[in-house]
Structure 1
Amino acid sequence: MPRRHFLLALLVGALLVLSPALAHHGWTGGETIELTGTITAVRLGNPHGEVTLDVKGEAWTVEVGQPWRNTRAGLAEGDLAEGVELRVSGEHAGERLLKAEQLWIGEEHHVLYPDRI
């Protein structure tokens, strides 16, 4: 019996540790919106990249994919850079926060989360 309790406690502990990460990175089922603006700041990396987008004078945070996801979507180094005009569609996830599912730079269309569109 003690071994069974230990394994149960280990499982519960793992779930408690992982649940905030799953909640942070999960999709919330929010409204899909589209924004167009100019990138004013960029931070790419893990757990996901972020760009700040100036949309009619308001700063929006746009979460883009992890580096491997951006590469898979066809984004090259320098595509997400300050001064770039960006159109983005994704989940409205909070006040001026968007989780990008797809984006356009000029005529180039990039799909970050094909299972979401």
Structure 2
Amino acid sequence: MQRRHFLLATAALALLLAFSQAQAHHGWTGGETRELVGVITDVQLGNPHGVLILDVDGETWTVEVGQPWRNDRAGLGEGDLATGVEVRVSGEHSGERLLKVEQLWIGDEHFVLYPDRI
């Protein structure tokens, strides 16, 4: 019986550690929600997530968007996230000039990347 309890406790601890590390890796750490408006100066879309470099009032911000499938599901099309496009982004401030995007706007179009986060 003690061995069974030990194995269950070990399995529960392993799951808890794996979940907390995944949360920390992806930046959902309960940080401050911010909104930025800027012009895309560089785009690198792909896995594990896309990265936009924004010029926000003369400051360079790194903005992480979703994986390709998540961007597609949100309704973003080919070329929507391109150099020269002005975007408004909202998400979790995750470090000095780093934002993990939960939703974004291009003009009047609204795209929700992480519906469970807003």
Question: Which interval holds the TM-score relative to the shorter structure?
Answer: 0.7 to 0.9
Match in the other structure for 2:59: 58
SS of the equivalent of 2:94 reads strand
Match in the other structure for 1:24: 25
Instruction: State the one-letter code of the partner of 1:78.
Output: G
Which whole-Å CA distance do the structure 2 matches of 1:55 and 1:26 have between them?
A: 21
Which whole-Å CA distance do the structure 2 matches of 1:18 and 1:31 have between them?
A: 21
Match in the other structure for 1:115: 116
Unaligned runs of 5+ in 1: 1-6
* Pairwise CA distance, 1:113: 0.3
Match in the other structure for 1:98: 99
Q: Relative to structure 2, which stretch is displaced further, 92-101 or 23-32? A: 23-32
* Pairwise CA distance, 1:26: 4.1
Alignment check: 8 A CA contact 2:49 2:66 kept? yes
% same residue: 77
Which whole-Å CA distance do the structure 1 matches of 2:20 and 2:113 have between them?
A: 24
Aligned structure 1 segments of 4 or more residues deviating by more than 6 angstroms: 15-19
* Pairwise CA distance, 1:22: 4.8
Give the TM-score taking structure 1 as reference length: 0.83
Aligned Cα root-mean-square deviation (Å): 2.1
Which whole-Å CA distance do the structure 2 matches of 1:74 and 1:108 have between them?
A: 10
Which whole-Å CA distance do the structure 2 matches of 1:86 and 1:78 have between them?
A: 13
Unaligned runs of 5+ in 2: 1-6
Match in the other structure for 1:4: none
Structure 1 residues 107, 24: closer, same or farther in 2, change over 3 A?
A: same
Which whole-Å CA distance do the structure 2 matches of 1:17 and 1:109 have between them?
A: 33
Which whole-Å CA distance do the structure 1 matches of 2:103 and 2:21 have between them?
A: 25
